[in-house]
Amino acid sequence: MNAPVSTPISAPALTKNQSLVFDVLDRSDAPMSAYTILDRLRDHGFRAPLQVYRALDKLLEFGMVHRLESLNAFVACAHPESECCGKGHGHGHGTVAFAICESCGHVSEFHDHEVDHRLSDWAKTKNFKPAKTTIEIRGLCGACAA
């Protein structure tokens, strides 16, 4: 009884743990650490960090969740659900960037082809093969800077 169960909307059918973790992230308006997620899910039977990390690994693989490296935290992908970050198949077609407000915690996800292009140009000339690119801007959002 541990196999993936079809879910109403999401792309690859998620297992119970995966849905629980995703829902918590999706409902949050700020990034969450694995341990915070764990605490939110104690009532649903979660007892250990690995339960969270294993679900997160899959969700990251599916492109449904992003990891914010500068925060050691996770957010649900902001793109509605179409052509996000290279869902099922492989490499994806673009790198996502994040603007993280250090005051309210809000995160904006965006994409810029030109930035992508410049970075992969650099890689080409250096013969570097990119696997994953991280772009994170920390600062103050419009509301908090005012």
Partner DNA sequence: ATCAATTGCGTTATGCTATAACGTGTGTCA
Partner DNA sequence: TGACACACGTTATAGCATAACGCAATTGAT
Q: Which stretch binds DNA (CB under 7 A): 13-21, 81-89, 97-105, 117-125?
A: 13-21
Cα–Cα distance measured from residue 35 to residue 7, given in angstroms and rounded to the nearest whole number: 25
Q: For DNA, which is the closer residue by CB, 60 or 140?
A: 60
Q: Which stretch binds DNA (CB under 7 A): 49-57, 92-100, 105-113, 133-141?
A: 49-57
Tell me which of a copy of itself, DNA, none is bound by residue 81, counting a contact when its beta carbon lies within the kind-specific cut-off of 5 to 8 angstroms.
none
- Rounded to 10 degrees, the C-alpha dihedral 5/77/82/116 comes to -140
Q: Which residues of 57-67 are buried (b: 16+ CB within 10 A; e: fewer)?
A: ebbeebbbbbb
Cα–Cα distance measured from residue 75 to residue 26, given in angstroms and rounded to the nearest whole number: 7
30 binds a copy of itself (CB under 8 A): no
Residues near DNA (CB under 7 A) are: 1-4, 15-18, 33-36, 45-51, 53-55, 58, 72-73
